[in-house]
Amino acid sequence: MARVLIVDDSPSQLMGMKLIIERLGHETMTAEDGAQGVEVAKREMPDLILMDVVMPNLNGFQATRSIAKNADTAHIPIILVTTKDQETDRVWGMRQGAKAYLTKPVNEGALIKLVKELLPA
């Protein structure tokens, strides 16, 4: 069982992704904005992070960069899950350190596939 951090300011999005991840048998933890996501990542060291982009305080691009550039958390794979669907957003997100990029509404099958690919066996 892996530990997955879900960072999203939308309660309905958080709940939806939490249900998907928990159905796969993994433990979830949540954060409601990018700053809180960075704090939880440093404190809890999850095995995977699902990160929204458009959030208050610290957006998902900034939070991803912070986690990816920190020596203690750089090993944690991050999947950006966002409504931002432009190619420039995708490229920018990957440059910040994300391992994958999904657009909302989330395709459950695509999310499950990425989670299985990125979590250690």
Assign residue 112 the CATH number of its domain: 3.40.50.2300
Residue 114: strand pairing partners: none
Q: pLDDT (tens digit, 9 = 90+) per residue, 66-97?
A: 999 999 999 999 999 999 999 999 999 999 99
Count of the separate structural domains present in the chain? 1
Give the dihedral of Cα atoms 98, 101, 103, 104; nearest 10 deg: -50
Report pLDDT for 55: 96
> Which domain does 61 fall in, by range?
3-118
Ranges in the chain, pLDDT < 70: 121
- pTM here is 0.97
The pLDDT score that the predictor gives to residue 120 is 73
Q: How far is CA 63 from CA 25, 26, 101, 121, in A?
A: 26, 23, 15, 26
What pLDDT is attached to residue 121? 65
